[in-house]
């Protein structure tokens, strides 16, 4: 039995006074994600954009393999679950055969930047008119915190228990900067969803990508740097702070490509 506190009920709580509520385009069921995980917020922003643009009937989403493998259970739109890494291939065919529909993929770093690198780069290079939403938390969350292509140097994971050793395990892959080089890619941005202002920026970026898709401008790629408090073995609040201090210096937030042109930015380097 939940105790009601004395502040629970007020006169303001009337339907006409609602200024923010969970969109109905999220299925009314608990999300499967860990407490504090950014996936939920990213899902919600995506669905808010689809709701505000009123394009549910013309939107087809592709979910990946990884933590968000069950995204199709939460996003209340037509969805396809792809094999690991292959979401851009599915999306390519879907968009080619339903060119007036909005098609997006939602993929994690293992899915998009490791096993699916080929599909990602070629869909980007063909300039498919789709939107790719890329959640980068630097780790394989679903399988239990293994090293990802985006794991930072020195960062611990269950398969780099003493920290990522660059000479033997390789460098973290900035796939977002990589795809931004491709002429088929029109808009590339890196955002996060850990503070209110970042959430607002992410939503704007998603909206922009869907608007550009309507204009057939080419592929739009949105990276959302996110936390994995379970994989990083921190509390959610700690993980957001750790993300600001460690992920953002390497995965610098902001626009990377606008209107088909690379934005001038300072190159970020690995720190040991």
Partner 1 sequence: MAKIKGDIVINTERCKGCEVCIAACPFTVIQMSKEVNSKGYHFAMKVNDECTGCTNCALVCPDGVITVYRAKVATE
Partner 2 sequence: MGELRLMKGNEAVAEAAVRAGCDGYFGYPITPQSEVMEYLMAEKPFERTGMVVLQAESEVAAINMIYGGAGTGKMVMTSSSSPGISLMQEGISYLAGAELPALIVNIVRGGPGLGTIQPSQADYFQAVKGGGHGDYKMLVLAPASVQEMCDHVKLGFDKAFQYRTPVMILSDGAIGQMMEKVVLFDQIPRRTDAEVVAQCPWASNGRPKTRNHNIITSLDLDPAGQERVNLKLQAKYKMMEQNEVLYEEISCDDAEYLFVAFGLSARICQKAIDLARAKGIKVGLFRPITLFPFPATEVSNVGNRVKGILVVEMNAGQMIEDVKLSVGCKVKIEHFGRFGGIIPSPDEVVRALEQKIIGG
Coil, strand or helix: which one is 156? coil
Strands of 92-198, DSSP E: 102-108, 131-136, 139-140, 146-147, 185-192
For residue 17, the minimal CB distance to partner 1 (Å) is: 4
Secondary structure of residue 103 in the 3-state scheme: strand
Hey, which residues between 50 and 79 contact partner 2 (CB under 8 A)?
A: 56-60, 62, 69-70, 72-73, 75-79
Nearer of residues 127 and 236 to partner 1, judged by Cβ: 236
Nearest to 55 by CA among 107, 92, 100, 90: 100
Instruction: Answer yes or no whether residue 245 interacts with partner 1 by CB under 8 A.
Output: no
Of 219, 85, 105, nearest in space to 148 by CA: 85
Does residue 171 interact with partner 2 by CB under 8 A?
no
Degrees, nearest 5: CA angle 187-208-34: 95
Closest CA to 107 of 226, 200, 187, 252: 226
- Residue 93 touches partner 2, criterion: CB under 8 A: yes
Give the nearer residue to partner 1 in terms of CB position, either 163 or 236: 236
In the chain the first and final C-alpha atoms are separated, in Å, by 50
By CB under 8 A, the count of residues binding partner 1 is 41
Residue position matching structure tokens 């009123």: 54
The site partner of 216 among partner 2, partner 1, none (C-beta below 5 to 8 Å per kind) is: none
Binding to partner 2 by residue 258, rule CB under 8 A?
no
Our CA angle for 159, 163, 169, nearest 5°, is 65
Q: With respect to partner 1, which residue has the nearer C-beta, 133 or 175?
A: 133
Which residues lie closer than 8 Å to 118 by C-beta, 6 or more apart? none
Residue 35 touching partner 1 (CB under 8 A): yes
CB 103 within 8 A of CB 144: no
Part in contact with partner 1 (CB under 8 A); list of ranges 80-88, 96-104, 192-200, 209-217: 192-200
Per-residue interface string for the shown chain with partner 2, residues 13-32, x marking contact by CB under 8 A: --------------x-----
Q: Least distance (Å) from partner 2 to the CB of residue 203? A: 21
| Binder of residue 178, out of partner 1, partner 2, none (CB less than 5 to 8 A by kind) | none
Chosen residue from 26, 37, 47, 94 binding partner 2 by CB under 8 A:
94
| Least separation in angstroms between CB 209 and partner 1 | 19
The Cα-based distances of 113 to 110, 171, 176 in angstroms read 6, 13, 9
Of positions 52, 118, 195, 249, contacts partner 1 by CB under 8 A: 195
Cα(119)–Cα(126) distance, integer angstroms: 10
Which residues contribute to the site for partner 1 (CB under 8 A)?
2-3, 5, 7-8, 10-14, 17-23, 26, 30-31, 33-41, 44, 193-196, 199-200, 229, 235-237, 240
């Amino acid at each position: 039995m939940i105790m009601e506190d004395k502040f629970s009920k007020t006169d303001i709580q009337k339907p006409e006074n609602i200024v923010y509520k969970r969109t109905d385009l999220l299925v009314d069921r608990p999300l499967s994600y860990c407490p504090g995980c950014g996936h939920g917020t990213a899902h919600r922003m995506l669905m808010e954009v689809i709701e505000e643009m009123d394009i549910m009937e013309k939107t087809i989403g592709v979910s990946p393999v990884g933590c968000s493998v069950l995204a199709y259970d939460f996003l209340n739109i037509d969805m396809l679950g792809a094999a690991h890494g292959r979401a851009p291939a599915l999306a390519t065919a879907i968009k080619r055969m339903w060119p007036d529909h909005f098609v997006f993929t939602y993929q994690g770093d293992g899915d998009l930047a490791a096993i699916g690198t080929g599909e990602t780069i070629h869909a980007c290079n063909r300039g498919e008119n789709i939107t790719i939403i890329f959640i980068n938390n630097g780790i394989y969350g679903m399988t239990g915190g293994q090293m990802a292509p985006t794991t930072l140097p020195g960062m611990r994971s269950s398969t780099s228990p003493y920290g990522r050793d660059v000479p033997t395990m390789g460098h973290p892959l900035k796939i977002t900067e990589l795809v931004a080089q491709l002429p088929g890619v029109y808009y590339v941005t890196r955002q996060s969803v850990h503070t209110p202002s970042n959430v607002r920026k992410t939503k704007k970026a998603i909206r922009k990508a869907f608007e550009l898709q309507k204009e057939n401008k080419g592929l739009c790629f949105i990276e959302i740097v996110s936390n994995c408090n379970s994989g990083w073995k921190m509390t959610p609040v700690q993980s957001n702070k750790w993300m600001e201090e460690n992920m953002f210096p390497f995965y610098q937030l902001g626009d990377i490509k606008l209107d088909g042109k690379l934005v001038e930015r300072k190159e970020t380097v690995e720190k040991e």
